[in-house]
A and B are shown apart, each in its own frame.
Chain A
Amino acid sequence: MIINARNLVKRYGDLVALDHLSFSVKEGEIFGLLGPNGSGKTTAINCILSLLKYDNGEVEIFGETMTPDAYHIKRNIGIVMQNVAVYNELTVYENIDYFCGLYVRDKNLKKRLVDEAVEFVGLNEFTRFYPKKLSGGLLRRLNIACGFAHRPKLIIMDEPTVAIDPQSRNRILEGILELNREGATIIYTSHYMEEVEKICSRIMILDKGKAIATGTKDELKAMITLGEKITVESYGVTEEQLKRMRSLPNIVSVDYRDQVLEVKSGKGKNNLETVLDFIKKEGIQFGKIYCELPTLNDVFLELTGKELRD
């Protein structure tokens, strides 16, 4: 295990930010912490890194207890903060060099690592730029480069794609996958379920400081009753017809709003066929039909009763 966190409790006065949170991260995986804003993701990261004192619990990293002065452990950790943490007085290159230099003393090795990091995040043309001259996306890339330039075994990324354009986001996500392929274990926190779903091998869903589910995305989706979501553009559906539809086998819920019929079915085969047969039989006029598998948002919705982005 790379990380083993047990029973973490962190309170801010009456507010319980972490409520007996336990999880472990295996070597070589991208572990996602998914939850809405205020769910305790950043607090969990800060507690793991000993940046925050927690009220109860234990954190082990690389098999050793993590403490504020466990510098030999910190040497193998890279951190990408939620807020961009770079020096505005230093250029792009100098920033990466500075943060890399905190971990690597050998000058030649450091230079090679810094050059590689610049290349990796695609900032070659901007090495002499000051952070204030960079766009939001480039700044985030610099922030990431400062976090992993020393090539740590474990990289912790706290919402590294907040407030940037989709193009930069895709580039960053591809970079994270590349770092993982090169052997780094990554902890990735986000409230964007698409990102987590795309890159994480295992996900923990957090809400109000509690882990409400942990597993691969398929395991998480398997936890809920929803099998698929069928959306039909249809006209003049009556209440009687909706009632009859709800009584069809394996149908979980039926909702009709603004000429859109949304049918959620349980796990099983032929759900779409059942719905289409019913529509034909009832003579309901219909247009486009979509069929979707459940998302992490559906998982979150079913487990907590609210949307992930509420």
Chain B
Amino acid sequence: MQVFKLYMKIIRRNIPIMLVYVITFLVVALIMSSSMVKEQKKVASFERTKSKVAFIAEENSPLIDGFREELGKIANFIELPDETEALQDALYFRKVSYILRIPKGFTEGFMKGENVQMEKTVVPDSFSNAYIDLCIDKYFNTARLYINQMKGITQESLVQSLRLDLSESASVEVKTYGDEPADYRYGNYFFNYLSYSLFAVIIQGMGVLMLVFNNQDLKRRNTCSPVSINSINLQFLLANLVFTISSWLIMVIFTICCSSVSFLIGNLVRGYEAISAISNVVTIGPCFISGAFVPQELLGESVLRIASFTPTYWYVKANNQIAQLTRFGLLAFFAVSLVVVKKRRFE
């Protein structure tokens, strides 16, 4: 079993390099997965945000006060001097994203049913501005409805009615990714990111081995020995299996696919430096398109179709399903049960 022992020695010698990959990517996986879980929590819950608004009213009236009160639910009012340059600066430096000016005579005209206008100056393409617009429209459209239907309504009773109407709220259920339940756990993300490091480790380990065993001089030297080629190949195969199965114990089918790719790479490359480069290219590519870094639900259909030819895709997919099925505590219990059953059988 000289060749087998040699294989294991070379693997042991390469453990530090593999550990660099493992530790680096474990740390990255931990950080990324924990941040993804936080991100997911944010997406799964609803939180009202407030925009910064400069509210400039050139007149005071109960209607304007009521409006200001309503707008205050979704806006933080920033006090600014009513000077063109100061207002422009405030927008430019994002001190406010919305400047609303209510001109003199607005209330009177509005109460008479005239077509009156407010002035707005905004930061372009800001989603929060659309939210303010909606609020303004909702307030004054409802007010217009009351004015049209209840002739002679006072500003005070109008504001009171509006306050009552607009205090109604609807319960909101947030659904993410269309029809997929947003129930990914920490371990789910962790294992998805781990796919990269595992793939890299196996390529690194087996690639180096293939380089060593494919060295022409060493091959010839071994051929001169009384150990048959069949025996050498058998020992090599056995050692390969031990290495692969050791990894497989952690990552099941995923590693075998990786091993095949690693084996291929190890046979194709001719330099140690090339292994690192290729392992990065080969691992990062599938990780990106398979959903290790970005959830599969966010990837396009064609991308996923291409990704389905890579082992990473199936690994991530399986991971996602496992995460939905059970918690890892159950898996641990299952593993312990298997060991106990096996032990009893031996006894």
Contact = CB atoms under 8 A, between A and B. Distances in A.
A60 B269 CA distance: 39
Interface string A78-105: 0101011111111000100011011100
A102 B212 contact: no
Majority secondary structure, A binding face: loop
Listed residue (B215, B220, B224) with the most chain A CB atoms within 10 angstroms of its CB = B224
Contact of B226 (A49, A75, A84, A85): A75
Interface string B199-227: 00000000000001001011011111111
Nearest to B14: A89
Nearest to B228: A71
Given A85-B218, A87-B218, A51 B223 contact: yes
A87 B6 contact: yes
Interface in B1-24: 2, 5-6, 9-10, 13-14
Interface in A46-78: 49, 51, 68-69, 71-72, 74-75, 77
A69 B228 contact: yes
B220 A85 contact: yes
Contacts of B218: 85-87
A101 B10 CA distance: 16
Nearest to B215: A85
B311 to A, nearest CB: 28
* Chain A interface extent, by class: 20 to 34
A86 B224 CA distance: 14
Contacts of A87: 6, 10, 212, 218
Interface residues of B, number: 20
B212 A74 contact: no
B333 to A, nearest CB: 41
B10 A102 contact: no
Contacts of A74: 224-226
Contacts of A49: 224
A89 B13 contact: yes
Contacts of B223: 51, 68
A99 B217 CA distance: 13
A185 B275 CA distance: 43
Nearest to B221: A85
B168 to A, nearest CB: 74
A81 B217 contact: yes
A49 B14 CA distance: 33
A85 B2 contact: no
Nearest to A51: B220
Interface string B217-249: 110111111111000000000000000000000
Contact of A103 (B6, B9, B226, B228): B226
B105 to A, nearest CB: 89
A89 B17 CA distance: 13
A81 B221 CA distance: 7
B221 A89 contact: no
A72 B228 CA distance: 11
A95 B225 CA distance: 14
B9 A79 contact: no
A89 B224 contact: no
Contacts of A72: 226
Contacts of A79: 221, 224
Given A72-B226, A98-B2, A89 B220 contact: no
Contact of A71 (B5, B6, B221, B226): B226
A102 B228 CA distance: 10
A51 B227 CA distance: 14
A79 B14 CA distance: 29
A93 to B, nearest CB: 12
A210 to B, nearest CB: 25
Contacts of A77: 224
B326 to A, nearest CB: 42
A84 B223 CA distance: 15
A99 B226 CA distance: 11
A296 to B, nearest CB: 29
Nearest to A100: B2
Nearest to A90: B9
B221 A101 contact: no
Nearest to A71: B226
Contacts of B227: 71, 102
B217 A102 contact: no
Contacts of B5: 98
A131 to B, nearest CB: 12
A83 B215 CA distance: 11
Contact of B220 (A81, A101, A103): A81
Nearest to A102: B225
Contacts of B226: 71-72, 74-75, 102-103
Contacts of A90: 6, 9-10, 13
Contacts of A98: 2, 5-6
A102 B229 CA distance: 12
Interface of B: 2, 5-6, 9-10, 13-14, 212, 215, 217-218, 220-228
26 contacts: A51-B223, A51-B224, A71-B227, A72-B226, A74-B224, A74-B225, A74-B226, A79-B221, A81-B217, A84-B217, A85-B218, A85-B220, A85-B221, A86-B218, A87-B10, A87-B218, A88-B212, A89-B9, A89-B212, A90-B6, A94-B9, A99-B221, A102-B2, A102-B222, A103-B226, A146-B221
Interface of A: 49, 51, 68-69, 71-72, 74-75, 77, 79, 81, 83-90, 94, 98-99, 101-103, 146
Given A51-B223, A85-B220, A94-B9, 10 more contacts: A51-B224, A79-B221, A85-B221, A86-B218, A87-B6, A87-B212, A90-B10, A99-B225, A101-B2, A102-B2
